[in-house]
Chains A and B, each alone.
Chain A
Amino acid sequence: MEQVKNRNSVSRILILGIAFLLTFSMPAVAQDAPAGDAAKGKELFNSLCAACHKRYKKSTGPALFGVTDRRDTEWIYSWVKNSKAMIDAGDADAIAIFEEYKKTPMNAFPQLSNTDIDNIIAYVMEPKATPSTGVTPGGDQAQQVEGTVISNELILGALAFILLLLISILVLVNKTLKNIAKANGVELPEDKEGHKPLWKAFVDNQFLVIVSSILLLLVSAYFAYGYLMQVGVDQGYQPIQPIHYSHRIHAGDNKIDCKYCHSSARVSKTSGIPSLNVCMNCHKSISEVAETTATADHSKEFYDGEIQKLYNAVGWDPSSQSYTGETKPVKWVRIHNLPDFAYFNHSQHVSVAGVKCQQCHGPIEEMEVVYQHAPLTMGWCINCHRETNVKVEGNEYYEKIHKELSKKYGVDKLTAAQMGGLECGKCHY
């Protein structure tokens, strides 16, 4: 919370400064850029150019902001329409840029008119938006959250204070009354001699002793049983991973299929930790999160830092857009771990049975930090095998045995348990 506060104040000054500077720079840029419709340009840019170009950052191709300062408009027109012809014709600038970007050819866009290209230029020449719009609402939100927390604590504190006050008033009143009574010479009733202490009365009553000791034994047996039964069960286990990978953002907000990253869950025993090249399929072009991704708990800076951790591990240099070859393995912490004496195969459940990942792993798409949802005990496995119907359609090879089993149990739909899903040897061997 404090960090947000600090950032807010510093960034506010920064933003003011930038805004101040921009008031001067805006007209200058506007004069240089050809008149074009930036909104139309954005549409064209996103659909045609953005695969390889970014506005303010180098990607497969160069950053396009400031392109009109580097080249004149006519050159850009002919380059966009057919860059290969220009290179072949021996244009020095064209050859230089082709060599600089590892001889990756740029697609020709003969379908674009000069007006289209003007629109795109207008869009790419827009100066980078300052984070002012993003930070201020974010900060407000954080402050609001902070505010509610504080007010809750304040109310609780006030209540406690009032309680204390009442107690002390009671004590004081009692004392004063006693003093008054003494002063007036009133005899206060004293404890009678020979009054039995409470514990002695309790011990003398045998019935009460027996009942309460039985009760005590039962309660402690209950708790002892509960404690012993959770030994070896890791439900709720939520370790801190070396890179804060948020399943909420990837599987939840962006709706990426679980099997995109955990591809071996389809075909092998283990679900697989994705190798970092899978991360880089997207993070080659996504080097920072959007302002809207940040939450009250995790700021944009935090998430950007985590992406940087990925780059360090995989050895990716974003400035040169190339791999350095220096890699550092990521030591992910395993959460779900069945004991060695139980066999479990992901592909059998995911591909054959078509069980949803969430059935066992819980609402993964909502987890910022993953925890173990299911107890993964044998009782839990067995329960699901008893309740789940097996999809037998379209499996001619086993048709006969399925029919016989259905007849034997007198059911239409067989459960995994009826097909032998409870036999010890299925999982323990």
Chain B
Amino acid sequence: MKSTIKLLALVIIVISAISCKNDRKPNYQFFPNMYESHGYEPYSEHKVFKGGQEAMLPVEGTISRGWMPYEFENNTEGYNLAKDTLKNPLAYNEENLEKGKELYTIYCGICHGAKGKGKGDLVKREKILGVPSYDSREITEGSIYHVMYYGINSMGSYAAQTSEHERWQIVQYVEKLKADLEGRTPRLDSNAPVVAVEEAVHDEAHATEGHAEENHKEEAHH
């Protein structure tokens, strides 16, 4: 009888040890001081910040590295001005087109469709409606960039997800799609001088991302 009780106790101990595994909680760590960072990690919580939140907007009056101020205002006048005067600083070459296509597929194609006809997956599934085809709207390189930067009507801003350089690459691809839809030959500069946006913009894409991170949870950056 005694041995039965002992056996039962053993079984209970083993079961309780096994059942400690709980997927809702992280596992035990061996020497946690080697695991937890002393430096501030992205999105971590620290008392020095307001509300403990590390992800913040840039201080007013400052800009992140690689983030250039955009001089056109977010209203109809700004839109029209950008439409008429803003030009793509990048060369229209195959390389930018290829990169533009890749980014377009990630960020735009989901609604605007692979061909720019406004028939992306979300439109087909009737989640988002009323996406116009590029050939039914009067758009220029300036207005495409402006709309990507601020968003328009139901479309949101993509300034937080892309860098200035990347947005101009997307502009080239959108212009190509529009030309294809209208049956024109898309613009391609043969040996135009490369007046690239400061290479820094590309290299500092990380810093731009920093901006996006700082936008985190603060507000929808309009």
Tell me which of A67-75, A86-94, A251-259, A356-364 binds B: A251-259
Question: Out of A230, A234, A282, which one reaches B26, CB within 8 Å?
Answer: A234
C-alpha gap A274/B106 in the complex (Å): 15
> Which of A53, A60, A105, A275 gathers the greatest number of chain B CB atoms within 10 Å?
A275
B216, A268: Cβ atoms closer than 8 Å: no
> Which of B30, B121, B209, B222 gathers the greatest number of chain A CB atoms within 10 Å?
B209
B27, A275: Cβ atoms closer than 8 Å: no
Tell me if B215 is interfacial: C-beta within 8 Å of chain A.
Answer: yes
Question: Out of A50, A238, A270, A278, which one reaches B24, CB within 8 Å?
Answer: A238
C-alpha gap A270/B44 in the complex (Å): 12
* A264 cross-chain contacts in B, Cβ below 8 A: 209, 212-213
Binary per-residue interface labels of chain B (32-43) against chain A in the complex, 1 for a CB within 8 Å, 0 otherwise: 001111110011
A278, B154: Cβ atoms closer than 8 Å: no
Number of A-B contacts (CB under 8 A): 181
Tell me if B193 is interfacial: C-beta within 8 Å of chain A.
Answer: no
Given contacts A270-B42, A329-B51, contact A282 B122 (CB under 8 A): yes
Tell me if A284 is interfacial: C-beta within 8 Å of chain B.
Answer: yes
Tell me if B105 is interfacial: C-beta within 8 Å of chain A.
Answer: yes
> Which of B55, B129, B160, B213 gathers the greatest number of chain A CB atoms within 10 Å?
B129
Tell me if B218 is interfacial: C-beta within 8 Å of chain A.
Answer: yes
Instruction: List CB contacts (< 8 Å) of B206-222 with chain A.
Output: 206, 208-210, 212-213, 215-222
A51, B131: Cβ atoms closer than 8 Å: yes
Tell me if B90 is interfacial: C-beta within 8 Å of chain A.
Answer: no
Given contacts A60-B153, A60-B154, A273-B43, contact A327 B219 (CB under 8 A): yes
Tell me if A315 is interfacial: C-beta within 8 Å of chain B.
Answer: yes
C-alpha gap A329/B55 in the complex (Å): 10
Closest to A61 in B: B153
* A290 cross-chain contacts in B, Cβ below 8 A: 126-127
Tell me if B155 is interfacial: C-beta within 8 Å of chain A.
Answer: yes
Tell me if A46 is interfacial: C-beta within 8 Å of chain B.
Answer: yes
Tell me which of A136-144, A183-191, A334-342, A380-388 binds B: A334-342
A281, B155: Cβ atoms closer than 8 Å: yes
Given contacts A275-B217, A341-B34, contact A232 B209 (CB under 8 A): no
C-alpha gap A345/B80 in the complex (Å): 41
B129, A51: Cβ atoms closer than 8 Å: yes
Question: Out of A238, A260, A269, A275, which one reaches B107, CB within 8 Å?
Answer: A260
C-alpha gap A282/B127 in the complex (Å): 9
Tell me if A316 is interfacial: C-beta within 8 Å of chain B.
Answer: yes
B130, A257: Cβ atoms closer than 8 Å: no
Contact size class for A? 35 or more
B219, A51: Cβ atoms closer than 8 Å: no
Tell me if A124 is interfacial: C-beta within 8 Å of chain B.
Answer: no
Closest to B53 in A: A329
A46, B130: Cβ atoms closer than 8 Å: yes
Binary per-residue interface labels of chain B (96-135) against chain A in the complex, 1 for a CB within 8 Å, 0 otherwise: 0000000001110010000000100110011111111000
A267, B205: Cβ atoms closer than 8 Å: yes
C-alpha gap A256/B55 in the complex (Å): 25
A230–chain B nearest beta-carbon distance, Å: 7
- Please classify the interface of chain B as helix (H, G, I), strand (E, B), loop, or mixed, using the class held by over half of its residues: loop
C-alpha gap A187/B205 in the complex (Å): 96
B126–chain A nearest beta-carbon distance, Å: 7
B51, A277: Cβ atoms closer than 8 Å: no
Number of interface residues of B (CB under 8 A): 61
Closest to B117 in A: A47
A254, B27: Cβ atoms closer than 8 Å: no
B168–chain A nearest beta-carbon distance, Å: 16
A314, B220: Cβ atoms closer than 8 Å: yes
B28, A231: Cβ atoms closer than 8 Å: yes
Question: Out of B23, B38, B107, B157, which one reaches A237, CB within 8 Å?
Answer: B23
Tell me if B156 is interfacial: C-beta within 8 Å of chain A.
Answer: yes
A277, B23: Cβ atoms closer than 8 Å: no
A272, B153: Cβ atoms closer than 8 Å: no
* B221 cross-chain contacts in A, Cβ below 8 A: 275, 277
* B122 cross-chain contacts in A, Cβ below 8 A: 254, 256, 282
Question: Out of A59, A255, A316, A339, which one reaches B154, CB within 8 Å?
Answer: A59
A232, B30: Cβ atoms closer than 8 Å: yes
B129, A50: Cβ atoms closer than 8 Å: yes
* A276 cross-chain contacts in B, Cβ below 8 A: 216-217, 219-220
* A231 cross-chain contacts in B, Cβ below 8 A: 27-30
* A263 cross-chain contacts in B, Cβ below 8 A: 106-107, 160-162, 209, 212
A105–chain B nearest beta-carbon distance, Å: 6
* A313 cross-chain contacts in B, Cβ below 8 A: 217
A329, B217: Cβ atoms closer than 8 Å: yes
A6–chain B nearest beta-carbon distance, Å: 28
* B218 cross-chain contacts in A, Cβ below 8 A: 275, 327, 329
B215, A275: Cβ atoms closer than 8 Å: yes
B161, A278: Cβ atoms closer than 8 Å: yes
Tell me if B76 is interfacial: C-beta within 8 Å of chain A.
Answer: yes
B27, A371: Cβ atoms closer than 8 Å: no
A159–chain B nearest beta-carbon distance, Å: 24
B24–chain A nearest beta-carbon distance, Å: 6
Question: Out of A51, A259, A337, which one reaches B132, CB within 8 Å?
Answer: A51
B179–chain A nearest beta-carbon distance, Å: 21
A268, B206: Cβ atoms closer than 8 Å: yes
C-alpha gap A52/B151 in the complex (Å): 13
20 CB < 8 A contacts A-B: A47-B118, A49-B130, A51-B129, A52-B153, A52-B154, A59-B154, A231-B27, A232-B27, A239-B24, A240-B24, A260-B106, A268-B206, A276-B217, A278-B156, A285-B128, A290-B127, A334-B43, A339-B35, A340-B37, A341-B35
- Extra contacts besides A231-B27, A239-B26, A260-B106 (15): CB < 8 Å: A47-B130, A52-B130, A231-B28, A240-B24, A256-B110, A264-B213, A267-B206, A268-B206, A272-B213, A275-B212, A275-B216, A277-B156, A277-B220, A282-B128, A323-B222
